Amino acid sequence: MTGLKIPVTPRWVILIVISALAGYASYKLAEPSVVVPEVAMSQVYPASSGALNILGRSFSLSPAENPLRNEALALMNEDQTKGWTLYNEIVEAGRARYYHGCFACHGDWLNGTTSAQATGESGTPNPLQAAFALWRIDIGASAQEKTSETLAPATPVAHKRLDESKVWQIITFLTDSAGLTPQSHRAGTDNKNLSLMGMALYQQRCAVCHGEHGINDGAASKRMYPQPRDFSLALFKYKTSPGTLLPSDSDLFHTIKRGLTESGMPAWGNFLSDAQINSLIPVIKGFDITAAWAPEDADEADFDEQGYYLKTDFRQISVTEPVTGQVPFSEKSVARGKVAFDRICIKCHGPEGRGNITSSKSWLEDDWNNRIWPRDLTKPWTWRVTQADGPEAQSREQTIRNIYTRLSIGLPGTPMPAHRATEAGNRDPIGAEDRWHVANYVYSLRWKGVPPGDKPLIQALRISGPLPDKLDDAAWEDAPAVSLRLSPNIIKQAHLTTPLNDAVTVRALYNDENIAFLLEVNDRTDSRPGEKVSMRVQDRRYRMYSDALAVRFPRVDAVETGPQVLTPAYLHGNETEPTTLWYWNAGSLEPPQPASKLLMDAIGSAQKLTLRTNDHSLDAQGRWENGRWRVLMKHPREAGNGRDVSFNEGLLIPVSFLNWDGSNGEALDRNTRTPWYWLVLSAPTETERSLVLPVGVSAGVLLLGFLLMRAQRNKS
């Protein structure tokens, strides 16, 4: 018996392709999805009302109605010199007040962030990016308590200290800095005199961090990690010139223009022209007191008593570190790079590259005796200068070249040494080929981390059977991972402006009875008092506390769901919007104290947390290993007390996370935390069921096409 023979013709090929595409389309349409209301995907902030409310008084935010600015402009019409003098005095007074009282919360007025990553909701750009222009104290609906007239600031005590004149000084500084009004450095923008323009720009833009004389004593410097650069020793971390040579003008230009990621150094290219940036370079060189930038044949008379070079014919470096012989990125090269990395680099960067010190060194400092921590190599989004821009396929080779350059040159002024001989005749600590292999390996470490996303949604995955009770259970690999930025508590008096832990990665699984979270935080130290390694590298400025993590949920009826979705107040809610904390503490070795798990209730930032003594429904465990805490928390989905939220499928449940880095002196209200995000429990369709529709559609299209072609052939 001969089977049915189907000739392979172009028609059949087209039909098979069409049926396959139809099946795939139906499969994608049938995939489980979570519909998130638009309001939940954006910040729940009201539009700026155009007015500032302080103590019941309303101040217009329109620059045209700024009384201090108008006074200066009126004086300019009578006497330009006196008018500009008054205007500059107002701006300088506002600058001093801003960096003294506002910087810790609102960050640098260029981008709304400091090294502390100023607090903001997720999903859209930080709202504080607009603060430099309009002083929007009335933003932050989801994080504030509602009043009859407006939304009270999260820091009412700080703002109550400001009278009307001081408020307008700050507004004048912010709008001037943004270029919305006459700019105070206008008199120093003459391109014919770069020296005058550069010094005026420096004092207006840079001195508040780097100091009036470039020695890192500006008003904002002590609120930053890492510290702003001290220019007096002519030491610069990021350069392309080889060995001990000074950086090139191009290096200085690009640092100023592009900024330094995850630090207080903004990208000035967004605000200054190339000519203005170039005018700053001789100013920076002029702050040197080591004669490094002066020509080699400079006379002693060319220096003043403090050691400052009095002329402007500074040295210029044009030599660059060679990057020839690049080894292509491959698994083989990565493996070879790991061998070299393990031999030399793990003493500071740790076995997994997370920056946990494993050597006997108890303290790492820069040349100014500032505590400094090794780079977490698993977080390329925090790399400064080294990470090249663009999609991975385009930026990988350049990024690897940059890593190679950092390896070869080191980071001057820091414990990061050069791994190429700096003097002729000396042997390279790491040969050129091995440096390329190490660069490839370091690049590969990025896949150990999950970069922070831009969606405020944590999707819990449903599984059949019991939830995992181990940190390394394979089931966690299937759970969608979301990394959320941690912001320091800069609202209460125990201000934290120099946090080290900047993100928490969250995974969630659930079944019919329970829900479980796996929290991961890269932490360079296992902060448990008495732990030998951590005690050896402890920051001497702080007392060591135990590391801790917490998950925070609103209580029942503490969330408004319509018409606008609002979450509880940012700091533990309030009396009408209480919250619950699932808290885990790492314990200590001296005195002996095991890890603990606690359930606590909160009714606002001014009230102490209340411990639940008879509720043991929370199960939690944690482990620190190679620079990372992993903490598992498990809890019943249904609340038996009638007070807690029930974890029902399909609902958007507000959730936030808190972290205490004990080695950084963090305890009680001194901590880092996320804003409110959304948790949703969604069950994926089972594999067998999910394939029924696409297979059926594909087979149906194929059969229909076969019948049509057969009918057409019979007619012919």
Last residue of a domain, one of 177, 201, 230: 177
Write the pLDDT tens digit of every residue in 249-258: 999 999 999 9
Give the pTM: 0.79
Q: What is the pLDDT of residue 163?
A: 74
- Name the average pLDDT for the chain: 80
Last residue of a domain, one of 177, 209, 241: 177
Q: What is the pLDDT of residue 145?
A: 36
Distances (CA, A) of 136 to 124, 143, 167, 185: 16, 14, 12, 25
On whether both 220 and 155 belong to a single domain, the answer is no
On whether both 248 and 166 belong to a single domain, the answer is no
Q: Which of 513, 506, 556 is nearest to 656 (CA)?
A: 506
More confident: 33 or 611: 611
Q: What is the pLDDT of residue 693?
A: 64
pLDDT band of residue 120 (cuts 50, 70, 90) is: very low
Q: What is the pLDDT of residue 40?
A: 39
pLDDT at 122 over 60: no
Report the distance separating Cα 457 and Cα 86, nearest Å: 50
DSSP label at 93?
Answer: H
Report the distance separating Cα 703 and Cα 7, nearest Å: 15
Chain mean position to CA 204: 27
Phi, psi of 715 (to 5 degrees): -65, -35
Is the distance from CB of 584 to CB of 546 less than 8 angstroms? no
Q: Is residue 319 part of a domain?
A: no
DSSP reduced 3-state for 89: helix
Q: Token pair of 323, please?
A: 């990057």
Q: What is the pLDDT of residue 38?
A: 39
Of 25-34, 373-382, 511-520, the poorest mean pLDDT is in: 25-34
Q: How many domains does the chain have?
A: 5
Report the distance separating Cα 225 and Cα 523, nearest Å: 16
On whether both 367 and 465 belong to a single domain, the answer is no
On whether both 428 and 470 belong to a single domain, the answer is no
Q: Is residue 348 part of a domain?
A: yes
On whether both 170 and 198 belong to a single domain, the answer is no
Q: What is the pLDDT of residue 690?
A: 54
On whether both 169 and 253 belong to a single domain, the answer is no
Of 212-226, 474-488, 620-634, the poorest mean pLDDT is in: 212-226
pLDDT at 714 over 90: no
| CATH number of residue 198's parent domain | 1.10.760.10
Report the distance separating Cα 370 and Cα 367, nearest Å: 7
DSSP label at 457?
Answer: E
On whether both 129 and 169 belong to a single domain, the answer is yes
Q: Is residue 318 part of a domain?
A: no
Of 50-59, 239-248, 274-283, 526-535, the poorest mean pLDDT is in: 50-59
DSSP label at 365?
Answer: B
Q: Token pair of 276, please?
A: 């203005």
Chain mean position to CA 242: 31
Last residue of a domain, one of 302, 317, 347: 302
Write the pLDDT tens digit of every residue in 563-586: 556 677 777 777 778 899 999 999
Beta carbons within 8 Å of 70's beta carbon, 6+ residues apart: 64
Q: What is the pLDDT of residue 141?
A: 33
With tokens 């220096």, the residue in question is 303
Beta-sheet strands, E only, within 610-709: 610-611, 619-624, 628-636, 653-660, 672-673, 677-682
On whether both 514 and 661 belong to a single domain, the answer is yes
Q: Is residue 400 part of a domain?
A: yes
On whether both 646 and 535 belong to a single domain, the answer is yes
Residue numbers of the domain that contains 25: 10-31+688-715
Write the pLDDT tens digit of every residue in 322-364: 999 999 999 999 999 999 999 999 999 999 999 998 876 667 8
On whether both 671 and 708 belong to a single domain, the answer is no
Report the distance separating Cα 573 and Cα 345, nearest Å: 45
Write the pLDDT tens digit of every residue in 405-435: 999 999 999 999 999 987 777 888 899 999 9
Write the pLDDT tens digit of every residue in 651-694: 888 999 999 999 999 998 899 999 889 999 976 544 444 566 67
The arithmetic mean of pLDDT across residues 152-172, rounded, is 63
On whether both 369 and 489 belong to a single domain, the answer is no
pLDDT band of residue 96 (cuts 50, 70, 90) is: confident
Q: Token pair of 67, please?
A: 């009384």
The arithmetic mean of pLDDT across residues 15-26, rounded, is 71
